[in-house]
Amino acid sequence: MSETSVYNPVARAMHWAIVLLIAVEFVLAWLMPDVRRDTQPVGLIAWHIGVGTSILALMVLRLVWRAAAGAPALLAGPVWQEHLAKLVHGVLYAGFLVLPLLGWANASSRAWTVHLAGVLSLPALAPAGAAWAHELGDVHQFVAYVLLGAIGLHVAGALYHAVVLRDDTMHRMWPRRR
Ligand code: HEM
Ligand code: HEM
């Protein structure tokens, strides 16, 4: 496989780092206590916010990097598969920018200070007590599960290439050792 058809090392590192953080983030979401009126952002909830804001920051860096360094063209295949792959990639990029912002706005409505990676305090996205931002808590949860479905489709596509078609798609993101 030629060098230009493999994702560059920075793009690969960010893809797999984000995969890992998203897996951790869902586990934290399932383990953390239910968020109620008097809940404070401590313990697993603080971890959920710290990891979630890190995902947001990495997604922004990843898109900036993609715009600057580019990405290899998709491998040729049936047109509908190319369209589906591009659509799912678009949903994942947009979704993992919007999802943390929804959580952040909800946290702000609860008068919580949101810290990037648990360290750097960020501005509020909504006024404390804002009803619309409070509602976004449910939207945040709903969008998280829609994106879990999109990840399922994406992973199924990757496995289809690796196991059934046995083409080089997986090695563009996880190169073979020479
Ligand atoms: C990719 C990043 C994120 C993912 C995958 C994610 C996922 C989730 C999921 C699945 C839930 C529902 C948990 C349940 O089933 O009970 C949830 C709840 C919540 N998340 Fe996130 N989250 C992310 C980022 C964030 C960020 C950045 C914040 C805040 C800055 C945040 C704040 C919250 C809050 C406050 C709730 C409770 C909402 C409510 O019950 O009203 N999340 N998150
Ligand atoms: C175990 C899970 C995963 C596997 C095996 C996997 C595999 C891959 C592979 C092989 C590619 C390259 C596709 C191609 O050559 O066209 C890719 C691209 C991509 N993956 Fe994943 N992936 C996984 C999880 C995720 C997750 C959780 C996200 C969520 C953000 C994600 C987002 C993307 C995006 C946006 C692209 C397109 C990259 C671009 O063209 O800029 N992946 N993935």
Q: Which ligand is nearest to the CA of 36?
A: 1
Mutate which of 141, 146, 148 for ligand 1 pocket (most atoms within 8 A of beta carbon): 141
**Is residue 60 over pLDDT 70?**
yes
Contact 55, 22 (CB under 8 A): yes
Query: What tens digit of pLDDT does each residue of 65-114 get?
Result: 999 999 999 888 899 999 999 999 999 999 999 999 999 999 999 999 99
Q: Which ligand is nearest to the CA of 31?
A: 1
The pLDDT value recorded for residue 177 is: 77
Q: How far is the CA of 4 from the centre of ligand 2 (A)?
A: 17
Q: Which ligand is nearest to the CA of 140?
A: 1
Domain 3-173: which CATH class? mainly alpha
Of ligand 2's listed atoms, the one at least distance from the Cα of 169 is: 15
Dihedral of alpha carbons 26, 157, 138, 104, sign:
positive
Q: Enumerate residues lining ligand 2, CB below 6 A.
A: 15, 18-19, 22, 66, 71, 74, 85, 89, 92-93, 96, 151, 154-155, 158, 169-170, 172-173
Task: List the chain domain ranges.
Answer: 3-173
Q: How far is the CA of 137 from the centre of ligand 1 (A)?
A: 7
**Is residue 133 over pLDDT 80?**
yes
Mutate which of 42, 47, 140, 147 for ligand 1 pocket (most atoms within 8 A of beta carbon): 140
Mutate which of 60, 154, 169 for ligand 2 pocket (most atoms within 8 A of beta carbon): 154
**Alpha carbon 49 to its chain's center:** 13
**Is residue 2 over pLDDT 70?**
no
Q: Show contacts of 164-173: CB within 8 Å, 24+ apart.
A: 167/75, 168/1, 168/5, 168/75, 169/75, 171/1, 171/6, 172/1, 172/5, 172/6, 172/7, 172/72, 172/75, 173/7, 173/12, 173/15, 173/16
Question: Average pLDDT of the chain?
Answer: 95
